Amino acid sequence: MAPYIPEIAETAVNDVNAIVERLRKNYETGTAFPVEYRKVQLRRLFWAIKDNEELILEALKQDIGKPCLEAWISEIGMILEEIQLLLDNIDRLAGGEKAVVKLQYKALMPHVRKDPLGIVLIMGAYNYPFQLIFSPLIGAIAAGNAVVVKCSEATPATCYVTQKIFADALDPDLYTTVHGGIPLSTELLAQKWDLIFYTGNSTVARIVQQAAAKNLTPTVLELGGINPVVVTKSADVKLAARRITWGKTHNAGQICLSPSYIVCHSTHVDALIQGIKDTLQEFYPNGVKASPDYGRIVNNRHFHRIKKMIESSNGEIVVGGEFDESQNFISPTFVRISDRHDPLIAEEIFGPACAILVVDDFQSIPRLVRDIGDTPLGAYIFSNDANEVKTFMQNTRSGGVTINDVVLHGGVGNVPFGGVGESGNGRYRGLYSFDVFSNQRAVVKTPGWIDGLLNIRYPPYTRGKLSK
Ligand code: NAD
């Protein structure tokens, strides 16, 4: 029998100030400073996640229809690996860094301390409701901060499980969860933080940044984008079709890194469409809708948003196009468009639809990609020509790139993950998360005897060539 997940109570907006003040007071006692304390929190978190695996999987199923294997790999397994990685490296990371300086400054022993920032707010999005809270949280704990997390209100079951894991594992004096909608978020953003780590859409990111500006609070913004996939003449088109179909069907396309549109060389377009159809048949032999391995759209509002975007396209649906509102089901849908101004690619779709644009050359592609969306989160190229890959990389921008595949640069763990321009700023994941949540303080210690060498700095300036 599936485990029972009760309804989660909303945090009272009026309580927010007291919650933040309590954490700040506790943080100032220095409890979180010793690395041993942080390790204990991380170990306890590791085991609490393991103990609650079944509950997490059930919550993700209830909230967003996530298939078990997808949920385990991308939400649980990834987080457990990340905790392990940070535990293995925390002593070295917290020990700071020696600076590389010129010989004459070596006696000053320049180094970088990595102190905690203080009290941080982490706000997550609904598509990976567990991972997007716990991945930054691990970095924040490892670096010694106190933390308030707010899960997306669109995924209440996962919010409940998050709250339970906090209660099972973490010191309530320094780490807490809050739950609620826009009024709660607004009140949270009105507080003074030492960092706001926000994952979500770029409209709300602007609200976050404006609120943060009042206190000059730094922000990390993990946003989305219109992610291109290029399939050149030299590509293995069957492989491209299979991998693109995987990237588009995973989490029912609700991935910030999901392919938004394909720019395909004309010689391959028929084979690409056929390859997508064949792959769907292979992945879901009894049909996509009947398969337990295909998710659902998170809620009715997003179902209608995505449906409207597909219907607004002037292109031709070549794969999919089925909708079932009663289940918030949208089949993987590929639309052949003829115009780069098509409404389907005017903004991020964040669902299981993808446009296909056909081109006859390679040269025009980087310009086309820049014109459609200059700063996507992910960019993908399927090509067996190293010069094409080099030209594509040099002439486009994105948060990350995967070559001959999609999405994977966001899944390998210890590489910096984040966006550029419209897709956000700041980088985290694995060991990179430690620095995001650290105050990197430059320290030098000047011995008295060094004035013999550094005397030139003192007035009157009569000792050097520039003394006049
Ligand atoms: P969402 O609706 O869950 O909202 C995200 C957060 O913003 C929530 O915590 C919510 O409470 C808060 N919020 C919503 N409206 C607000 C308001 N008016 N004022 C203050 N806070 C508010 O999720 P979403 O934003 O729709 O998420 C989807 C977006 O997130 C997509 O654009 C996707 O690409 C992006 N995303 C990015 C990443 C990444 O790592 N770069 C990962 C996942 C999702």
Residues in the chain: 468
Question: Does residue 58 have an active-site annotation?
Answer: no
Give the separation between CA 8 and CA 152, rounded to whole angstroms: 12
Give the separation between CA 6 and CA 129, rounded to whole angstroms: 17
What digits encode the pLDDT tens for the residues 150-186? Answer: 999 999 999 999 999 999 999 999 999 999 999 999 9
Q: Check 75, 82, 151, 256 and give the catalytic one.
A: 256
Q: Which amino acid is at 211?
A: A
Confidence band (pLDDT; 50, 70, 90) for 468?
low
Q: What is the pLDDT of residue 14?
A: 98
365 CB-contact burial (10 Å; exposed 0-12 / middle 13-18 / buried 19+): buried
Which residues are CB-contacts of 302 (< 8 A; sequence separation ≥ 6)?
254, 328, 350, 351
Residues contacting ligand 1 via CB (< 6 Å): 123-128, 132, 150, 152-154, 182, 185-186, 199-201, 204, 207, 222-224, 256, 348, 350, 377, 419, 424
What digits encode the pLDDT tens for the residues 356-390? Answer: 999 999 999 999 999 999 999 999 999 999 999 99
* Pair 141, 430: CB distance under 8 Å: no
What digits encode the pLDDT tens for the residues 420-466? Answer: 999 999 999 999 999 999 999 999 999 999 888 888 888 888 766 67
Question: Alpha helices, DSSP H only, in 121-201?
Answer: 131-142, 156-169, 182-189
pLDDT at residue 467 above 70? no
Q: What is the pLDDT of residue 11?
A: 97
**Mutate which of 122, 126, 250 for ligand 1 pocket (most atoms within 8 A of beta carbon):** 126
**Mutate which of 256, 304, 432, 436 for ligand 1 pocket (most atoms within 8 A of beta carbon):** 256
pLDDT at residue 319 above 70? yes
Q: What percent of the chain has pLDDT over 90?
A: 93
**Residue 145: how many CA atoms within 13 Å on its side-chain side?**
32
Q: What is the pLDDT of residue 455?
A: 84
Which residues are CB-contacts of 382 (< 8 A; sequence separation ≥ 6)?
229, 230, 231, 232, 235, 236, 237, 239, 240, 243, 404
Average pLDDT over residues 106-122: 96
Give the separation between CA 244 and CA 230, rounded to whole angstroms: 11
Nearest atom in ligand 1 to 189's CA: 20
**Residue whose CA is at the smallest distance from ligand 1 atom 23:** 125
* DSSP code for 150: E
Where is 178: in which H helix or E strand? strand 175-178
Q: How many CB atoms lie within 10 A of CB 34?
A: 12
Question: Does residue 354 have an active-site annotation?
Answer: no
What digits encode the pLDDT tens for the residues 202-226? Answer: 999 999 999 999 999 999 999 998 9
pLDDT at residue 114 above 70? yes
Q: Check 82, 222, 348, 422 and give the catalytic one.
A: 222
* Pair 397, 423: CB distance under 8 Å: no
Name the residue among 344, 333, 392 with its Cα closest to residue 367.
Answer: 392
**Mutate which of 199, 210, 221 for ligand 1 pocket (most atoms within 8 A of beta carbon):** 199
Nearest atom in ligand 1 to 257's CA: 34
CA angle in degrees (0–180, nearest 5) for 123-124-130: 130
Which residues are CB-contacts of 337 (< 8 A; sequence separation ≥ 6)?
261, 313, 314, 315, 344, 345, 355, 356, 357
Q: What is the pLDDT of residue 177?
A: 98
What digits encode the pLDDT tens for the residues 47-85? Answer: 999 999 999 999 999 999 999 999 999 999 999 999 999
Q: How far is the CA of 228 from the centre of ligand 1 (A)?
A: 21
453 vs 304, residue with greater confidence: 304
Tokens of 210: 């404006």
Q: What is the pLDDT of residue 451?
A: 87
